[in-house]
Structure 1
Amino acid sequence: MSHSQTYEVIRPVFRDLIHSNLTLARIATGHVWTEGPVWFPAHETLLFSDIPNAHMYRWTPHGGTSLFRQNSNFSNGNTRDREGRLLTCQHATRSVVRTEHDGQLTTMADRHDGRRLNSPNDVITRSDGSIWFSDPTYGILSDLEGHKAKPEQEGSFVFRLDPDSPEPTVVSRDFVQPNGLAFSRDEGCLYVAESGSSHDPDVPSLLKVFDVQPDGGLGKPSDFAAIDKGLPDGLRVDQYDNVWCSAADGVHVFSPDGELLGKVKTPETVANLCFGGPRGNMLFITATTSVYAVHVNTKGAVG
């Protein structure tokens, strides 16, 4: 892609967030549907999922791509917890699991009110040690990204799992299919993607935002921004509180007020993204069959 094809500048301030002389680099390809990128600074390693192939991969700047987990149980979203451990949403087990420092897996959540979760999709953490995740039905709709099954939950919810809690608490019932999650820098706001238009064109392709209450609950949602190409999936917040969100034509970047500043254009539909790299200023993009990377002029809100 040429420089002019890589970026769409809508507001002049977007130029301050990118290096307009740089283009996307495709750092991995040959996959089916890449998802869940997460950067581990201590190892200078990017991990990501290929959901239909049920594999997880690692990428390093000097070693390229290699297999990280042979059987990932159709892993989707990944994140680091505050102790540097990997948290993963698994469709096959319909659970959120933690990879301990010795490599063992611990199930963090797989049920609510005695019934199995749908298929946890994206996961983030908060500084109080709580784990937040979305639970749409994508992993049980067919055998492509999990195992086809009937939902046991009454809907598709957003959950919070408190430290030492035996099971997660529903914090939002406001979505058809909740997807990507991200906190603002001060953790006072939670952004959630509504991706229900994947199966129902009448569902608006929106990012919604909630105020996080002192007790960990959420206020009423408001519409933050609309995606004008495709639907929102994974998202991240940068150090200036801008929201970077996946879409059909690339990564859409919104100001803290929800104004579309510009786009990082990609040749494939984007599923998710994260900030990382040795200096934290690289944008990694999982987009259908490939993973792309480009240096930007910002870093993630969460290190």
Structure 2
Amino acid sequence: MKAAADLRPGRLLHEAGRPDAVKGFRGVQIDDERLAAVLSSDAPLLTLYQGTVHGEGPAWQTTHDRLVWSDVPNRRLLGWYPDGHVEVLIDGTWFMNGNAVEADGTLVHCEHGRRCISRGGDYDREPEPIVTHYQGKRINSPNDIAVAPDGTIWFTDPTFGIIMPNQGALAEPELDHRSVYRFDPRAGDLKRMADFEEPNGLAFTADGATLYVSDTSLSLGEVPGHKAGAKHEIIAFDVSEGGELSNRRFFCQTDHGYPDGFAVDARGWVWTSAADGVHIWSADRRKLGFVPTPAVVSNCAFGRADRRRLFIAATQSLLAIDLIG
């Protein structure tokens, strides 16, 4: 009889090869000349992979020269490599969603199923939970995660993973708030930083001086038995050298859908997901332009050695568009 390991499926999901351009892509909308110097209006939108149910949490892992992202309902962590091949990195995740990379290349993850932040894991090694409770109560369902320049791990903790069966498992929340947290892995200290209706995406500027967080309570209207909230916006905070937040302020909102996840580039521009594509905003809150996509975007991330490729998780597809500056 064959050993169980011999019966496991292979890890390869997509052969190496050149990506195809998205047919019918109408081009990048340029609303500000500053964007024209960074992204060409006729840059092709590329399809790197198709086959996820709900792609999420893209993050560039420089140490492995790959883009990692989650297929949440399929319970898989995937990896895309520059030669074009895609493989399963972890099969049977606990509804992993957001991912981030620590300075040494170690992955950290948000897990809906185990309701935790976990670290490490690859192929047959399960990630280790490092945050599970706040003040003795289980956290809700961590959604997105970011590593600050000082090495602290920040994450959002909405309820989506405990109210949507295809994103986790139904459970009553133990906490009476939905918050952003800061975890110091050296001290093992977890601190509640700010509360929202349903916090979702988050990202820092390169210098760590500004934190952006999206509130997407509007999306509760997609969950049976729940009423849509009013929030579909991104909020900005100033971050002190000690990691404290101040000057909470409205930054932007999406006209179509909600800003699920987003990336901040070296200029401080915010590239945010929406139902119709990726919208680009300057740090001074000017709308710079728009990359339309054929499917709802959940998140995006910059990658490759030069950070000039924007990877876009758009429902069933992993898309990409290349910058010129």
Instruction: State whether TM-score is above 0.5.
Output: yes
TM-score normalized by the length of structure 1: 0.93
Amino acid at match of 1:223: F
Among candidates 295, 300, 303, match of residue 322 of structure 2: 295
Residue 38 of structure 2 is matched in structure 1 by 17
| Structure whose alpha-carbon radius of gyration is higher | 2
Deviation at 1:202, TM superposition (A): 4.5
- Structure 1 residues 214 and 62, CA gap change in structure 2 (3 angstroms): closer
Q: Note if 1:61 corresponds to 2:82.
A: yes
Residue 130 of structure 1 is matched in structure 2 by 152
Q: Note if 1:144 corresponds to 2:166.
A: yes
- Structure 1 residues 88 and 202, CA gap change in structure 2 (3 angstroms): closer
Once the two structures are superposed, what CA deviation does each residue of 1:238-295 show, in whole Å capped at 9, x if it has no partner? 1111111111111110001111110111100000010112432111000011110111
Amino acid at match of 1:152: E
- Aligned partners of 1:113, 1:184: CA distance in 2, in Å? 29
- Residues 51 and 75 of structure 1 are in contact (CA less than 8 Å); yes or no, is this contact kept in structure 2? yes
- Aligned residue for 1:72, secondary structure, equals coil
- Residues 89 and 122 of structure 2 are in contact (CA less than 8 Å); yes or no, is this contact kept in structure 1? no
- Residues 55 and 70 of structure 2 are in contact (CA less than 8 Å); yes or no, is this contact kept in structure 1? yes
Once the two structures are superposed, what CA deviation does each residue of 1:56-115 show, in whole Å capped at 9, x if it has no partner? 111112141111111111000001011110011011010011106995632221110101
Q: 196-205 or 150-159: which moved more?
A: 196-205
Among candidates 208, 230, 233, match of residue 260 of structure 2: 233
- Structure 1 residues 146 and 4, CA gap change in structure 2 (3 angstroms): closer
Q: Note if 1:165 corresponds to 2:192.
A: no
Q: 59-68 or 263-272: which moved more?
A: 59-68
Among candidates 269, 280, 298, match of residue 307 of structure 2: 280
Q: Note if 1:115 corresponds to 2:137.
A: yes
Deviation at 1:229, TM superposition (A): 1.3
Q: Note if 1:81 corresponds to 2:102.
A: yes
Unpaired runs of at least 5, structure 2? 1-21, 221-226
**What is the identity percentage for the equivalent residue pairs of Structure 1 and Structure 2?**
35
Among candidates 289, 292, 295, match of residue 262 of structure 1: 289
TM-score normalized by the length of structure 2: 0.87
Residue 119 of structure 2 is matched in structure 1 by 98
- Aligned partners of 2:27, 2:140: CA distance in 1, in Å? 36
Q: Note if 1:253 corresponds to 2:280.
A: yes
Unpaired runs of at least 5, structure 1? 299-303
